[in-house]
Amino acid sequence: MKTRTRAQAKLIIAQLFSGAGIASGYAVGGLLAEEISGRTAMAGFAQMSVILGAGLVAYPLAALAGRRGRRTALTLGFGIGTLGAGVVLLGVAVQFLPLFMLGMMMCGSSTAAGLQARYAAVDLADPAAAGRAMSLVVWATTIGSVLGPSFTEPGARLGDALGMNGLAGPYLISMTAFALATLSASTLARGVEQDTASNTQPAGTAAPATLKLGAALRFALARPVPLFAIVTVITGQMMMTNVMVMTPVHMDHQEFSLGAIGIVVSIHIAGMYALSPVFGWMADRWGPGTVIAAGTGVFILTITLGVIDALAPVSSMVLLSVALLLLGVGWSMFLIGGSALLTSSVPSHAKIPLQGASDSAMNLGGALMAAMAGTVLETSGFLGINLMATGVLLITLAFSVKAIPLMRWPGRAQPTGEKEDAGLEQSQVR
């Protein structure tokens, strides 16, 4: 028990530093790309690079966790992010966009490692409290993520003092924070998650071998509930990314100060993480479907406020702050609800590959939205950005139709993936 508690504390510390590192550079990444390239559309590609990097590394990190344990995977993930922040600084120094984009992609590895940490927390938890365990690690990102954007202006002054491009200064803070996250992850006890997983197996039985990716995907695609869980995680990320990456650029075009942009980003990130323990408790108490349904309503309200701001003659700091707060809340509900639904609806030997594939797909989907967002903002304004989010939300609703009757709802028990598929032979799904 003490070993598990210490491991959870180290996961929380790693998340705190990782969140600070990601958020420190978040508000200025798009601005740097726009400055280096001279094109607004490239602002979206900068954030796309971070998300694309997270998407490309998410499954390999999950596969590594399956073979070598969470400690090795998390340490490598945060370590690549540390190197990435250094490459960003070099790319800005020489004003070479491809090198800058490569560094941004490498920074995405810290995002992927942070997302994997939530599943590491589930490995350590009682299955009945999986949602709360996951949400506590997600919540740990709150402190670092909210403080991160507040480092934007001090980081810029630090960069100026060192003779650098001021906007690159926050990435000095990112590099330091990622390094501290790497250090924390590297001290996790080896094999904790494997020992925990073995404790859930009936006495005298061996845990089935982990499915290969193709077999795991076929398993999920054939079942409406895990498929909907994966879609929820993906579309939540796509909607959040689409609106968030262009909000700092939209505000810059509206002549808001860098400090004001940092405040709105901080409010948004607080929405992403601060209430996650509540959503984890809701998932354990009333089922993940309840959390996803509530998140759908929050996203609808968010998009409505975004459309109102887009149609207004002058953007409102208050309206944007509320909209971005709710955008973060909706993302949190979809992430925790979808992740909890995926974990509870598949057997143990399918979890790691599907968790990795889900995280990879959510980041690749977000990267796609970020890549298009700059062009959409340039051609259709902030209204076009919110209409794109509306289309993605409609996709989520379409996949929910078959899953809703099979999901757990208040007053109705729903067997977990472990029980539902206890008799499943691996040969049937290979």
In three state form, how does the secondary structure of 53-80 look? HHHHHHHHHHHHHHHHCHHHHHHHHHHH
Q: Is the pLDDT of residue 194 over 60?
A: no
Task: Write down the pTM of the prediction.
Answer: 0.77
Cβ-based neighbour number of residue 341 at 10 Å: 29
pLDDT grade, residue 427 (50/70/90)?
very low
2-189+212-412 under CATH 3.30.360.10, yes or no: no
pLDDT grade, residue 1 (50/70/90)?
low
- DSSP class of residue 210? P
Residue 190: per-residue pLDDT: 63
Residue 430: per-residue pLDDT: 36
Compute the half-sphere exposure of residue 343: CA atoms within 13 Å on the CB side of its CA: 29
User: How wide is the angle at C-alpha 285 spanned by C-alphas 279 and 290, nearest 5°?
Assistant: 60
pLDDT grade, residue 27 (50/70/90)?
low
Q: Is the pLDDT of residue 70 over 80?
A: yes
pLDDT tens digit string along 336-386? 999 999 988 888 888 888 989 998 999 888 888 877 887 888 888 889 999
Structure tokens at 172: 């000095």
Of residues 43 and 190, more confidence is placed in 43
Q: Which of 25, 21, 29 is nearest to 100 (CA)?
A: 29
The rounded distance, in Å, linking the Cα atoms of 50 and 57 is: 11
Structure tokens at 328: 């973060």
Residue 301: per-residue pLDDT: 96
Of residues 61 and 120, more confidence is placed in 61
Please state the domain extents for the chain.
Answer: 2-189+212-412
The answer to whether 310 and 355 have CB atoms below 8 angstroms apart is: no
Residue 179: per-residue pLDDT: 95
Residue 330: per-residue pLDDT: 97
Q: Which of 112, 99, 22, 106 is nearest to 61 (CA)?
A: 112
The answer to whether 131 and 229 have CB atoms below 8 angstroms apart is: no
Structure tokens at 23: 């958020």
